[in-house]
Amino acid sequence: MSSIEREPVMKYPGEDAPLPLRHGGQPISDDEAVGVARRYVREQNEVSGKDEPLPTELPLPQEPGRTPIESFRLPRRRKWRARARADMEGRSLTDVINEALEAYANASPGSTVQYVLPSAGGAPRPGRRRSRSKA
């Protein structure tokens, strides 16, 4: 089964209009994510004059090949502070952003994602990567 089609077979929730907010309800379903993705691709096609195919299913959790590069606005101060913390923890900024987006996407709509503080003197994470900075 192809994950992309040229003509829609069915309408997905969120395909024609934004999804209604349901505070504290179930996290976004796969069909809702596909519907919003279809609306986004359709809008981008209109703006760009392209004819990108509309998705019909979510990509696999671990897509084969390289992860697509996305572009979005982010204040430099926030980025630099996040990068410094990621470096301290031996992580990449990409891993931090992916983890935060995954938590956000899997939470109930209208909720706030909260982080658990580690206990003082906790052991370093297994597999910690070393910083590339010079001593």
> Phi/psi of residue 5, each to 5°?
-135, 165
pLDDT of residue 135: 43
Lowest mean pLDDT among 35-39, 45-49, 68-72: 68-72
pLDDT of residue 60: 85
Question: DSSP characters for 70-123?
Answer: ------HHHHHHHHHHHHHTT--HHHHHHHHHHHHHHSPTT-----PPPPTTPP
User: Residue 118 and residue 122: Cα distance in Å, rounded?
Assistant: 7
Q: Please check whether residue 82 is in contact with residue 96, taking contact to mean a CB–CB distance below 8 angstroms.
A: yes
pLDDT single digits (tens) 114-135: 888 888 765 555 555 544 544 4
Q: Which residues contact 30 (CB under 8 A, 6 or more apart)?
A: 57, 58
Token duo for residue 38: 């279809």
Q: Which residues contact 83 (CB under 8 A, 6 or more apart)?
A: 93
pTM for the model: 0.72
pLDDT single digits (tens) 75-112: 999 999 999 999 999 999 999 999 999 999 999 999 99
pLDDT confidence band for 24 (50 / 70 / 90): confident
